[in-house]
């Protein structure tokens, strides 16, 4: 009989552990869904700018696209000093957006590290090496004529 009692105790412990894990997963999932629903484009923009600042991005420009394009509300353009820094900033940004807001960002160009595009939904982020950024000059295409800096929030 002692062996049977021990097996039952272990089984009950396992069942309680599984119930606790399931409850924690459900709570985490609900919190992530709530965070994704409360993420406004301005909140997302602030998180993007903070991440780029933490990672020492250079020449960060934010462009207000509201009313100009359906692809998003904001565009952020930044530079990194090397292909390694550009890739690392993009990867960290996508990870931070996922952990803070539960949003999976689409990313293109990370393999080469010359120009990485991160689409977070309402905020489109371009991270360039300086030479590539100078060549494409996205700021000139998207900023209002005569404007030298982008709109801040």
User: How does DSSP assign 51-91, residue by residue?
Assistant: HHHHTT-EEEEEEE-TTT-SS-SEEEEEE-SSHHHHHHHHH
pLDDT tens-digit profile of 26-82? 544 444 444 444 578 899 999 999 999 999 999 999 999 888 878 889 999 999 999
pTM reported for the whole predicted model: 0.71
Number of alpha carbons in the 13 Å side-chain half-sphere of residue 46: 7
């Amino acid at each position: 009989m002692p062996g049977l009692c021990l097996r039952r105790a272990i089984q009950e412990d396992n069942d309680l552990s599984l119930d606790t894990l399931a409850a924690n997963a459900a709570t985490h999932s609900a919190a992530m869904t709530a965070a994704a629903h409360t993420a406004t484009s301005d909140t997302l923009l602030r998180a993007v700018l903070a991440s780029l600042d933490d990672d020492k991005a250079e020449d960060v420009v934010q462009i207000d696209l509201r009313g100009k394009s359906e692809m998003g509300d904001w565009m952020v353009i930044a530079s990194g000093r090397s292909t390694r820094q550009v890739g690392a900033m993009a990867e960290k940004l996508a990870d931070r957006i996922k952990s803070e807001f539960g949003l999976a960002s689409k990313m293109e160009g990370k393999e080469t590290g010359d120009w990485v595009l991160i689409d977070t939904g309402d905020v489109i982020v371009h991270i360039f090496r300086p030479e590539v950024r100078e060549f494409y000059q996205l700021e000139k295409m998207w900023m209002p004529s005569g404007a030298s800096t982008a709109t801040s929030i």
